[in-house]
């Protein structure tokens, strides 16, 4: 079974139920036994590949690029270190 790329919105149909979410990168320790998807409620779940009947691709998720905020420094204040 050919798997979609991580970051793809998928619907996974198993013997018992259907899951929909975003396909995540495979954890290194799980090997090829499980797929991980992020559900719409934010939880991640692992699904045994042996129980998967079908994987439908719904679409690709757009990744938002992280843009750090620019902080203005006040020269009248001391520097503070946060540990």
What residue spans define the domains of the chain? 8-60
Domain 8-60, CATH among 3.40.470.10, 3.90.1150.10, 2.30.30.520, 3.30.479.10? 2.30.30.520
Reply yes or no on whether the pLDDT at 40 is more than 80. yes
Reply yes or no on whether the pLDDT at 9 is more than 90. yes
CA distances from 7 to 2, 33, 49, 70 (A): 15, 19, 18, 29
Of all residues in the chain, the percent with pLDDT exceeding 90 is: 42
Query: What pLDDT is attached to residue 30?
Result: 65
> pTM above 0.75?
no
71 class by beta-carbon count within 10 Å (0-12 exposed, 13-18 middle, 19+ buried): exposed
Reply yes or no on whether the pLDDT at 63 is more than 80. no
Average predicted confidence (pLDDT) for the chain: 87
């Amino acid at each position: 079974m050919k798997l979609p790329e991580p970051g793809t919105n998928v619907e996974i149909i198993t013997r018992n139920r259907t899951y929909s979410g975003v396909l995540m990168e495979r954890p290194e320790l799980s090997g090829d036994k499980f797929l991980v998807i992020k559900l719409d409620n934010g939880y991640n779940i692992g699904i045994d590949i042996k129980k998967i009947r079908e994987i439908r691709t719904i679409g690709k998720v757009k990744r938002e690029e992280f843009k750090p905020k620019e902080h203005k420094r006040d020269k009248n204040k001391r520097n503070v270190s946060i540990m």
